[in-house]
Amino acid sequence: MKRFVGRSTCRAVSNSGTMHSVKEACAVNRRIRSSQQGGKILRRLQQDDRVEQMKQFMQHGKVTTFDHCIHVAKISRWLDHRLHLHSNQHVLLSGAMLHDFFLYDWHHDDNGTHRWHGFSHADTAARNVRTFFGKDPRVEHVIRSHMWPLNLTHLPRSREAWIVCVADKLAAIQETLFRR
């Protein structure tokens, strides 16, 4: 499927000129809009000075927290697309890109301040997001629950939260094993 005509009527025409069903064309147009919207959300966040602060901190191996968050956002998008989950792109990608927005290097002990990093950083990131970007309970929930099951009481309760929780684990395994 190469060419789309009349966005509002969701008509799609294939290479051979065959008309596809309105339902199919609508689904394709929805996917394209969602992908364009997702790209804009990610670009805006990646260019934000506050988000760029994550470039200063290491996450796994040679991967900065910033690059780790981009990795998680890419896997989240892929899962959402491949599994046809139709997530809210703002909630999914803001949650993914900001899930580790805790803004310190957890490898440094800092007199024991980061001893409980594994348990506490999701809350710290959610608080930072609220301070810098304003309150958004759906995004905060994605961030707070991304460490489940380590943070046992923060069970993911939305599809966006589940996607980011899984994507974070996949990214962490890949970064820890192959990008040292």
Where along the sequence are the contacts to Fe ion (CB under 5 A)?
A: 100, 168
Q: Minimum distance between the CB of residue 69 and Fe ion, rounded to whole angstroms?
A: 7
Q: Minimum distance between the CB of residue 125 and Fe ion, rounded to whole angstroms?
A: 7
Whose Cβ is closer to Fe ion: residue 1's or residue 173's? 173
Q: Minimum distance between the CB of residue 121 and Fe ion, rounded to whole angstroms?
A: 6
Residues 6 or more apart from 91 whose CB is under 8 A from it? 136, 138, 139, 142, 158, 160
Q: How far apart are CA 43 and CA 89, in angstroms?
A: 13
Whose Cβ is closer to Fe ion: residue 12's or residue 66's? 66
Q: Minimum distance between the CB of residue 143 and Fe ion, rounded to whole angstroms?
A: 9
Whose Cβ is closer to Fe ion: residue 4's or residue 104's? 104
| Token pair recorded at residue 85 | 């989950």
Whose Cβ is closer to Fe ion: residue 76's or residue 88's? 76
Instruction: Of 110, 101, 113, 119, give the one whose Cα is nearest residue 64.
Output: 101
Residue 144 and residue 154 in contact, taking contact as beta carbons nearer than 8 Å: yes
Q: How far apart are CA 11 and CA 146, in angstroms?
A: 39
b/e for 29-64, b at 16 or more Cβ within 10 A?
beeeebeeebeebbeebeeeeebeebeebebbeebb
Instruction: Of 65, 96, 92, give the one whose Cα is nearest residue 80.
Output: 92
Q: Minimum distance between the CB of residue 4 and Fe ion, rounded to whole angstroms?
A: 36
Q: Minimum distance between the CB of residue 50 and Fe ion, rounded to whole angstroms?
A: 18
